[in-house]
């Protein structure tokens, strides 16, 4: 059989490309038609394969990706901490519709080229993110931990002057900076996504101008200088006292309001008008007979102040029609003897806790001074935690107050001066306090040792210095009671006995011709505590300084010149913290002479050589 026709070899070879093209295009058309409505093959979104998915399945898949992404951590780094938040809370979410469109576009077979590529490799579709600024702000604002509230200002009169104390700024995360940084941080990616944050100051809400009304209200009282009266006794209200009653706080709406310390105001008014009490003796009266203590209070009295004293004062001062020349009457109250006795009982003044006696010659002017000084001191109560100054209690010794001239050591030699001799009382109470366990914030020993006083354990006094100060570190009051005979002075201290105090050691060292004596005391408390401290004395020979030179600048000498150094007396002062400081007058280098004899004479009778700086 013969073929109908034949194709030359060269023609067949020439037709092959056309056949292949037709086959390629046919495959594309057939595949595109078969997969119409589905994502093209080998397409992935966020690492998940979505190729071949229909519209519903694709949407479900992209929505699941969106849910997962909302939990993606974003770290907000503050200068002190880090806060982890979900991306969704900061407004960063997946745009589902746009991401679906991307997936379809990535798998498109709209032309044979993209169709062919789908056969040979994976195609990734980008996830489209969207950011909502309002959501970001809301997510940050709800974080209390990222904010320190400012402290508002307030009024404070505790210094005796009403002043405005400015508030202090708070700290808040710079929300604007965080919000502005979110898009860039998300674009940079990372796991986790990091946003840097800084603090910014959060200013107080109120300024001094917001306190103007209550400042004016307080000023009406502070600046009034009002005269107050009780039982015809009148006293003026000091501005610094009134100012100390005031401060401020805020009402429920945050508006400043004035606060009056009614307890302090009542106490201050009572202190101002205490001398106006009349009608009886309702105060506790202590009496000591033969070392036996008794306390009495016998009659009712009308004293300041009634419970409504503060209210009465403030109401009167708020009255714009008040006549400022008329004193404001302050309500009184009735004080009963039982009340006074109850207050006395709280002090714990119930028994003898310390006592000391020193002897002296009879019937001299210095003895009169000692006894007068003792009368001023008797009945004084040292409150718990209080320090008393003997000079403040007794005051300056003058002829007008009944004091006489007595022996007095000046520049190391004995002279006569008004009030001389009273240092014997200082030494006596010093020793009573020593054994009662009290302390001495300030004291000075005699510069010359006097034989009838305890060696190294004594004190002198003059006005205004040297002074003797006694501190009561106990929880009980201490009553000072003095008695005397023609030849002795005794000081007794009454309180509650809760310790034993003993002299447990003593040492002496020399500084030139002076002796420095350190006397140790041991206090053993009922609770087992043991406290050891010491007192100090510095003694020099009469008429000399520690280097042997004359202490009296008026002394005359007869021998050759030499250079000497003069050192003054020392005073021991103890601070509130318990540190002890010994103060010595400054050294001065002068040209003097070696002593051969002096024109200064002293009386060595016992009754006069016992005095220094007053006695």
Question: Model confidence over 350-395: pLDDT tens digits?
Answer: 899 999 999 999 989 889 999 999 999 998 999 999 999 999 999 9
Average pLDDT on 436-453 reads 92
DSSP 150: P
Instruction: Give the integer Cα–Cα distance in Å for 351 and 493.
Output: 8
Is the separation of the CB atoms in 573 and 603 below 8 Å? no
Q: Which residue has the tokens 């002017």?
A: 365
C-alpha 297/C-alpha 338 separation (Å) is 7
531 or 451, higher pLDDT? 531
Query: H/E element holding 614?
Result: none
CB 297 within 8 A of CB 277: no
Nearest CA-CA partner of 511 in 548, 458, 536: 548
Nearest to 392 by CA among 447, 461, 475, 444: 461
Confidence grade of residue 326 (pLDDT, cut at 50, 70, 90): very high
pLDDT the model gives residue 603: 31
> Which tens digits make up the pLDDT trace of 93-109?
888 888 777 777 765 55
CB 503 within 8 A of CB 490: no
Structure confidence by residue, pLDDT tens digits, 167-218: 999 888 777 777 777 777 777 777 788 888 778 888 899 999 999 999 999 9
Q: Is the peptide bond before 466 cis (omega within 30 degrees of 0)?
A: yes
Closest C-alpha to 413, from 554, 568, 513, 590: 554
Strands 561-566 and 499-511: unpaired
Torsion angles phi and psi, residue 92, rounded to 5: -95, 115
For all residues of the chain together, what is the average pLDDT?
A: 78
Q: Answer for the pair 162, 221: CB distance below 8 angstroms, yes or no.
A: no
Q: Residue 194: CB partners within 8 Å, gap ≥ 6?
A: 74, 75, 77, 185
3-state helix, strand, coil in the chain (%, to 5): 30, 30, 40
Nearby residues of 420 by Cβ (< 8 Å), 6 or more positions away: 365, 366, 369, 405, 406, 407, 408, 611, 614, 615
pLDDT of residue 600: 32
Question: 146: pLDDT confidence band, cut at 50, 70 and 90?
Answer: low
Which H or E run includes 390? helix 390-394
Q: Which residue has the higher pLDDT, 579 or 151?
A: 151
The pLDDT of residue 305 is above 90 = no
Token pair of 344 as six digits: 């006395």
pTM above 0.75, yes or no: no
Report DSSP state, residue 544. Answer: B
Listed range (87-91, 108-112, 153-157, 280-284) with the worst mean pLDDT: 108-112
Distance CA 379, CA 275 (A): 18
**Per mean pLDDT, which of 76-90, 108-122, 581-595, 597-611 is the most reliable?**
76-90
- CA gap 499, 297 in Å, rounded: 30
Element (H, E) at 62: helix 55-70
Torsion of CA 400, 405, 408, 413, to 10 degrees: 140
Query: How far apart, in Å, are the Cα atoms of 501 and each of 436, 472, 504, 544?
Result: 6, 14, 9, 35
Overall average pLDDT of the 414-427 stretch: 82
DSSP per-residue letters across 545-557: -TTSSBS-TT---
Query: pLDDT tens for residues 473-501?
Result: 999 999 999 999 999 999 999 999 999 99
What's residue 604's pLDDT?
30
Residue 612: pLDDT band by 50, 70, 90 thresholds? Answer: very low
User: Nearest Cα to 498, choosing from 470, 531, 474?
Assistant: 474
Q: Which of 39-48, 290-299, 510-519 has the highest mean predicted lDDT (pLDDT)?
A: 510-519
**Predicted local confidence at residue 115, as pLDDT:** 47
Q: How far is CA 45 from CA 65, 129, 531, 537, in A?
A: 9, 13, 83, 96
Report the candidate in 379, 484, 373 with the shortest Cα–Cα distance to residue 421: 373
DSSP string, 441-492: EEE---SS--TTSPTT------SSSS--EEE--SSS-EEEEEEEETTEEEEE
**Mean pLDDT over residues 235-249, rounded?**
94
CB 449 within 8 A of CB 514: no
CB 219 within 8 A of CB 246: no
**Do the Cβ atoms of 557 and 543 come closer than 8 Å?**
no
Say yes or no to pLDDT of 532 above 90.
yes
Per the DSSP assignment, residues forming a β-bridge with 531 are: 523
Cβ contacts of residue 14 below 8 Å, gap of 6+? none
Helix, strand or coil for residue 85?
strand
Please state, in angstroms and rounded to a whole number, the distance separating the CA atoms of residues 443 and 570: 9
Q: How far apart are the first and last CA of the chain?
A: 168
Domains annotated on the chain, with CATH: 27-147 (no CATH), 208-347 (3.10.20), 351-609 (no CATH)
């Amino acid at each position: 059989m013969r073929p109908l026709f034949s194709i030359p070899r060269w023609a067949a070879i020439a037709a092959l490309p056309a056949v292949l093209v037709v086959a390629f295009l046919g495959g594309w058309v057939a595949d595109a038609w078969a997969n119409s409505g589905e994502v093209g093959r080998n397409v992935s979104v966020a690492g998940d394969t979505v190729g071949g998915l229909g519209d519903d399945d694709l949407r479900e898949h992209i929505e699941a990706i969106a849910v997962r992404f909302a939990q993606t951590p974003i770290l907000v780094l503050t200068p002190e901490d880090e806060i982890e938040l979900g991306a969704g809370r900061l407004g960063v979410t997946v745009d589902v519709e746009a991401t679906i469109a991307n997936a379809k576009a990535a798998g498109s077979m709209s032309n044979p080229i993209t169709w062919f590529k789908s056969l040979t490799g994976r195609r990734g579709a980008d996830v489209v993110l969207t950011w909502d600024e309002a959501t970001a702000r809301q997510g940050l604002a709800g974080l209390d931990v990222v904010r320190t509230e400012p402290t508002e200002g307030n009024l404070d009169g505790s210094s005796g002057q009403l002043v405005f104390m400015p508030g202090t700024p708070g700290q808040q995360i710079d929300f604007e900076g965080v919000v502005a940084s979110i898009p860039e941080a998300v674009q940079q990616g990372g796991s986790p996504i990091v946003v840097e944050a800084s603090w910014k100051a959060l200013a107080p809400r109120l300024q001094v101008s917001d306190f103007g009304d209550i400042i004016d209200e307080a000023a009406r009282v502070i600046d009034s200088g009002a005269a107050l009266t009780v039982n015809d006794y009148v006293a003026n209200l000091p501005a610094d006292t009134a100012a100390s009653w005031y401060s401020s706080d805020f009402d429920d709406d945050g508006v400043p309001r004035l606060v009056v310390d009614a307890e302090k105001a009542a106490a201050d008014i009572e202190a101002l008008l205490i001398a106006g009490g009349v009608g009886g003796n309702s105060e506790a009266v202590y009496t000591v007979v033969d070392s036996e203590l008794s306390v009495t209070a016998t009659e009712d009295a009308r004293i300041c102040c009634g419970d409504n004293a503060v209210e009465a004062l403030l109401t009167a001062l708020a009255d714009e029609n008040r006549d400022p020349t008329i004193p404001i009457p302050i309500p009184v109250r009735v004080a009963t003897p039982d009340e006074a006795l109850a207050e006395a009982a709280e002090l714990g003044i119930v028994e003898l806790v310390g006592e000391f006696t020193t002897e002296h010659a009879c019937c001299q002017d210095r003895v009169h001074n000692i006894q007068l000084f003792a009368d001023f001191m008797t009945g004084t109560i040292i409150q718990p935690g209080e320090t008393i100054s003997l000079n403040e209690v007794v005051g300056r010794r003058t002829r007008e107050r009944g004091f006489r001239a007595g022996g007095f050591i000046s520049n190391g030699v004995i002279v006569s001066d008004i009030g001389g001799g009273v240092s014997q009382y200082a030494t006596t109470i010093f020793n009573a306090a020593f054994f009662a366990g009290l302390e001495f914030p300030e004291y000075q020993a005699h510069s010359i040792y006097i034989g009838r006083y305890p060696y190294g354990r004594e004190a002198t006094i003059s006005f205004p210095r040297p002074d003797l100060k006694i501190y009561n570190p106990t929880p009980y009051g201490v009553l000072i009671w003095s008695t005397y005979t023609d030849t002795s002075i005794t000081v007794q201290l009454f309180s509650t006995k809760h310790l034993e105090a003993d002299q447990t050691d003593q040492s002496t060292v020399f500084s030139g011709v002076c002796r420095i004596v350190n006397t140790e005391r041991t206090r053993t408390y009922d609770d087992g505590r043991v406290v050891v401290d010491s007192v100090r004395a510095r003694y020099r020979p009469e008429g000399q300084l520690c280097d042997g030179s004359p202490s009296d600048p008026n002394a005359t000498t007869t021998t050759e010149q030499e250079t000497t150094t003069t050192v003054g007396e020392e005073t021991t002062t103890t601070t509130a913290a318990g540190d002890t400081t010994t103060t010595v007058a400054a050294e001065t280098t002068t040209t003097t002479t070696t002593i051969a004899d002096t024109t200064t004479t002293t009386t060595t009778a016992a009754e006069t050589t016992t005095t220094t700086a007053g006695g």
